[in-house]
Amino acid sequence: MEETLAFAERIHAGKPQLPLALRLIQNTGVLKRHIVQPIDQTLHHPGLAERNRIYEIESKKRCPEVIEEALANAGVSVTDIDLIVYVSCTGFLMPSLTAWLINEMGFRSDTRQMPIAQLGCAAGGAAINRAHDFCTAYPDRNVLIVSCEFCSLCYQPVDDNIGALLSDGLFGDAVAAAVVRGIGGTGIALERNASYLIPNTQEWISYAVRATGFHFQLDRRVPGTMEPLAPVMRDLAAEHGWDIGHLDFYIVHAGGPRILDDLAKFLDVDRSMFRHSWATLTEHGNIASAVVLDAARRLFEEQALTPGATGVVAGFGPGITAEMAMGTWAVDPLAAIDLAALAGQRDLTPVTPVAAR
């Protein structure tokens, strides 16, 4: 944070909105972030083509290691994967990186591909939900989720509005992966999912696409969106027979401190229940679609849940869109419980996101 504040003061010195931006950055609670280039290179804008070239190089360099760890954690191999869901909103490749991964890492040639490029921070939740849908349709299949977000490649030196300055101090880079198994495994057994779009808010989070690349636009009303989304989450839990305010774990998008504080307030949940999301925000910043996977990784590492513990996974992003899933904690049925007890459930087994350095 100290470096961020110093750079902001130097680059935007004398601008009337700078004092407010500095206060907002300090209030994010983001103490550390990782980026794919040294800070001086990040602050220099070489043009869209060069930035996209860096995105391609870095994604191909960093994703395989994370994927291999995810597969190992889930106890599956590349030949066991039937669908790859690749999510990223910070660079563009066609064909998608999924084609390169299939060729380079030895996935089967009939592996299905699902790139998700325009859901922003909500895409992590969307990837989990689409994997759940796929495994519901094909119960014995497995899905690999890959999130690759290099938010620093979207930095625009000329943008000095409050939203842009705040985002410069909030977003970080990360790569994460997870496996959703149709049968078996230890993790979050996905049971129900839903999507919701707040009407007429599509311009509140957006990209302006210009010759210099993606210019992030953030409306000042965005932090207040948890008030209309909390009842949607409450209704989803009620449809599942649960009380949203009395679950055992919450994996939610760490868009910023007010997002987390407001959601805790409107769900009537102690803010400590969002500790995994708070930790992600503090140690990595807002890492877009990778947030929910990093928070889930922390849940795994805590090792505090017993089988049957209830919880929710929720990602929020442009639209304004919410992608939500309900699930229970399940352990490997072959080791601890009867396989039949998991009928109709799907397991999400995440891996530690590898932070770009």
Residue type, 347: D
Active-site pick, 121, 135, 148, 151: 121
What tokens does 28 get?
A: 């994010």
Tokens representing 205? Answer: 């989070």
From the number of C-beta atoms within 10 Å of its C-beta (0-12, 13-18, 19+), residue 78 rates as middle
Please indicate whether residue 121 is annotated as part of the active site. Answer: yes
Q: Which residue in 218, 219, 217, 201 sits closest to 209, CA to CA?
A: 217
Look at residues 94, 57, 150 and name the one whose alpha carbon lies nearest to residue 356.
150
> 3-state secondary structure string, the chain?
CHHHHHHHHHHCCCCCCHHHHHHHHHHCCCCCCCCCCCHHHHHCCCCHHHHHHHHHHHHHHHHHHHHHHHHHHHCCCHHHCCEEEEECCCCCCCCCHHHHHHHHHCCCCCCEEEEECCCHHHHHHHHHHHHHHHHHHCCCCEEEEEEEEEHHHHCCCCCCCHHHHHHHCCECEEEEEEEEECCCCCEEEEEEEEEEECCCCCCCEEEEEECCEEEEEECCCHHHHHHHHHHHHHHHHHHCCCCHHHCCEEEECCCCHHHHHHHHHHHCCCHHHHHHHHHHHHHHCECHHHHHHHHHHHHHHHCCCCCCCEEEEEEEECCCEEEEEEEEEECCCCCCCCHHHHCCCEEEEECCCEECC
Sign of the CA dihedral with 263 first, then 266, 272, and 273 last: negative
* Tokens of residue 258, six digits: 């007010």
Catalytic machinery residues: 121
